[in-house]
Copies of this chain bind each other. A is one copy, B any other.
Amino acid sequence: MLPIPSDAALDALKAAAGNWSDDPATLAPHLVDWRGKVRGNSPLLLMPATTAAVAAIVRAAAAYRVALVPQGGNTGLVGGGIPDAGGGAVLVSLARLNRIRAVDAAGLTLTAEAGVILSTVHDAALAEGCVFPLSLAAKGSATIGGLVSTNAGGVQVLRHGTMRALVAGIEAVLPDGSILDQITGLAKDNSGYDIKQLLIGGEGTLGIVTAAALRLVPAPPHRAVAWAGVEGPHAALALLARLRRASGGQVESFELIPAAGVDLVVQHIADRRAPLSSPHRWHVLIELAGAATLDAVLEAALGEAAAAGEIEDAVIAQSSAQAAALWRIREELPEAERRDGPSLHHDIAVAVAALPGFAEAATARVEADFAWARVLAFGHLGDGNLHFNVRPPADSDAAAWVASHGAAVTGLVFDLVTAAGGSISAEHGIGSIKRADLARLGDPAKLAAMRAVKSALDPLGIMNPGKVV
């Protein structure tokens, strides 16, 4: 348990921040994650507006040995931005660091402070004829600092990579209060260890990201979108390889969805219907981005895929409205699943080529060990990333089933993915929720190196304690 900060410590932190609140009503929404699964306590919320103020806060925290918990848009899924229940840690919201410092269309970079919301970045890039090619459901709330600190993913990772690939530069306050100034976006820089890589995905445990230089791409002249019915994940992977080859690497999204996923959307969301008239065991949603000639490339490749038996049927969107309608099926799947009742969610990854086999074997094993449980596995096939969700038996008391079997199901899924050389957290991070799982299942050499790095950079243990490591 962290000690409760003294009045002198709290006064020093308030003075350093400039803006702060200790009003319980103001703090309340910052003390619970948006799904309501993780709750904590804190005596103080700091709201600095400049990098210098963040540095002053960290120096004061170091002087008084007070733990800090950085928080962005509070859209995390593993409790990384929520303090523990003891009330010893002080919250640092980066929301007021909300300037876009520069948009550079020639150099294809955009420099944004930590509190800038993702959709604001999208708009600013588009105004200059560019795209920031990372998007996710929480784009209206998630902030750049949080996206960097969690190495966020999304549906375009296949082509553009995760946040790590899209961060050209970083500004951060390290646990000793020094400012790491690596904000100039350099495409190449081999002058020493790339320390910013530790802040990316560090979940605020090695410092506080205050700004990032993000890579942009030119807005593509055209997007070609299609939906196909396939026999299974193996066929889908062959189709993906064909499309990547035919397009010269312009496949931007390739989402795999089982029949049960489409059924859930049709059942729970008003005015939705299946994109294909015939039934298929599995579906894929495809998006290519590039020159206007891509429609022809896509049509020819799908024709060849049909001849090769990789797809059973397909439809190409003839307008952006049709494309949006296809995307809605994928985007509304999590909400349809939620409306259907409680289920267990697992954000896992294996090697891409291993994914079809893993999906089959893990589904069979879970459905064998837990009678009548229903696996719903969907997601980013080209990233080897599945949302491997497990639904309670139909007609069961879903909440009771989850309460009694949840830990065992999750333990089995994590064991299976670890045995397959995969990751127990593909996108969401470790935070507080998966910390014990990582300690149990992580590579021992990696865990030892993580602990050594944490102790070296944060010897006082003041940066987001109780998270990750």
Contact = CB atoms under 8 A, between A and B. Distances in A.
Interface of A: 104-109, 129, 150-151, 153, 157-158, 161-162, 164-165, 174, 176, 178-195, 197-198, 200-202, 206, 217-222, 237-238, 241, 244-250, 289-291, 293-294, 297, 349-354, 380, 382-385, 421-430, 434, 438, 442-450, 452-457, 468-469
Contact of A195 (B157, B187, B351, B450): B450
A198 B187 contact: no
B165 A217 contact: no
19 contacts: A106-B237, A107-B353, A107-B384, A109-B352, A179-B445, A182-B443, A186-B349, A187-B352, A187-B384, A190-B423, A190-B425, A191-B425, A193-B449, A194-B197, A197-B197, A219-B245, A247-B291, A290-B290, A453-B456
A354 B108 CA distance: 12
Given A384-B188, A449-B174, A218 B244 contact: yes
Given A241-B105, A248-B221, A190 B201 contact: yes
A420 to B, nearest CB: 8
Contacts of A382: 187
A356 to B, nearest CB: 9
A123 to B, nearest CB: 19
A183 B443 CA distance: 11
Max chain B C-beta neighbours (<10 A), residue from A200, A354, A434: A354
Nearest to A353: B107
List 10 tightest A-B contacts by C-beta distance, closest first: A248-B290, A107-B353, A456-B456, A184-B421, A197-B197, A107-B352, A218-B245, A178-B445, A189-B423, A188-B426
